[in-house]
Amino acid sequence: VLAAGCGGGTIGQGAGGDPAAPPENKNLVLMPGVKAEPFYISMQCGAQEEAANLGYQLTTQAPDRFEAALQTPIVTGVLATRPAGVLIAPTDDVAMANPMSQLKDAGIKVVEVDTRLQDESIALSTVSSDNEQGGVLAARTVAELVGGQGEVLVLNTKAGTSTTDARARGFEQEIANHPGITYLGQEYTENEPAVAAQKVSATLAAHPDLAAVFATNLNSGEGAATGLRNAGKTEQVRLVGFDASPNQVEDLRTGEVSALIAQDPATIGRQGVQQVVAAIEGRPVEREIETDLVAITQADMESKAQYFYRTEC
């Protein structure tokens, strides 16, 4: 199999090659979990900037929905173009192992950004927030907002999403330390805002005294806010959401959201590029890199505007 983009020169580069000789293939591909979504757009901005700094070209390819069945053919297509390295947010912690291992077997350097596989032998590095700790932080924030009393729901996205599973796990562990809180368990939204809104309505019908909702990501948070608005319950129910999209930030400003746990996706993108380039150039790579999380409330939102996500670079 010939490597595309290696016209006339040496094919091998990076680890195992001559570290003094610059690699000829300087193409990187970023594969976010879903297209046109502020978390991943912000990640792309950071990644593009860092790739340009380091003299690499970075393109982005993402599925229309956060779904392994849609991301798999994208990975297969990228494989055929033989980039030197990829940054990928696997949409399922098991189903994406097979397509990603094909990248690795082809000698392409693989770095995970945001989400990860259960199989730790495929990616060289994983750059993400401490999602479990983020769930703990969300639980403490919820407990404080409701004065340690009342019924609480978690809106998760899709089982098999490593990040949101970890957030829900951290939340469940911490909320158990608050005996006045009745934990209603978690509902899955399939990462669709409309499903999130509908799960909130259904929960309110069964639990009219619902005190709080923790939404484990952007789409479930935006959908939960819609569900509360539709039911006229934004004053009664405290909503804490992961991420900081423009809609989420606007809902925080109006008080319909009580707190946001923002990530630092631009830094995830930048660090991901640094790691994949280190691998390509035969330098040491860090297996795990953790980026910041910050809780934002209406009271401190003006001083934390640098954490708001972007919709363009």
* Interface positions with ligand T6T (CB under 6 A): 33, 37, 39-40, 114-115, 161, 163-164, 217-219, 242-243, 263
Task: Give me the least distance between CB of 249 and ligand T6T, in Å please.
Answer: 14
Q: How far is the CB of 247 from ligand T6T (least distance, A)?
A: 11
Q: Smallest distance from the beta carbon of 117 to ligand T6T, in angstroms? A: 13
Dihedral of alpha carbons 186, 219, 178, 146, sign: negative
Q: 21 or 313, CB closer to ligand T6T?
A: 313
Close Cβ partners of 13 (under 8 Å, ≥ 6 residues apart):
21, 23, 24, 25, 84, 280, 281
Q: What six digits make up the tokens of 141?
A: 């924030």
Are the C-beta atoms of residues 96 and 290 closer than 8 Å to each other?
no
Alpha-carbon distance of 180 to 145, in angstroms, equals 13
User: Token match 């792309």: residue?
Assistant: 44
**Nearest residue (CB) to ligand T6T, 60 versus 217:** 217
Strands of the chain, DSSP E:
27-31, 57-60, 85-88, 109-113, 125-129, 150-156, 181-188, 212-215, 238-242, 259-262, 288-291, 294-297
Tokens of 195: 């499903």
Q: Measured from the CB atom, is 37 or 132 closer to ligand T6T?
A: 37
**In terms of CB distance, is 39 or 171 closer to ligand T6T?**
39
Determine the Cα–Cα distance for residues 112 and 80; give it in Å rounded to an integer.
19
As measured in angstroms, the least distance from the Cβ of 306 to ligand T6T is: 18
For residues 13 and 48, which CB has a smaller minimum distance to ligand T6T in the complex?
Answer: 48
CA 180 to each of CA 72, 146, 177, 209, 211: distance values in angstroms, whole numbers, following the listed order: 45, 10, 9, 14, 12
Distance of closest approach, residue 281 Cβ to ligand T6T, in angstroms: 28
DSSP string, 28-67: EEEE-SSSS-HHHHHHHHHHHHHHHHTT-EEEE---SSS-
Provide, rounded to whole angstroms, the least separation between the CB of residue 256 and ligand T6T: 18
Fill in the amino acid letter for 234: T
Min dist CB 59 to ligand T6T, Å, is 19
292 alpha-carbon distance from chain centroid: 13
Pick between residue 40 and residue 307 the one whose CB is nearest to ligand T6T.
40
Residue closer to ligand T6T by CB (options 115, 141) is 115
Q: How far apart are CA 192 and CA 280, in angstroms?
A: 37
C-beta of 134 vs 150, nearer to ligand T6T:
134
The CB-of-12 to ligand T6T minimum distance in angstroms stands at: 34
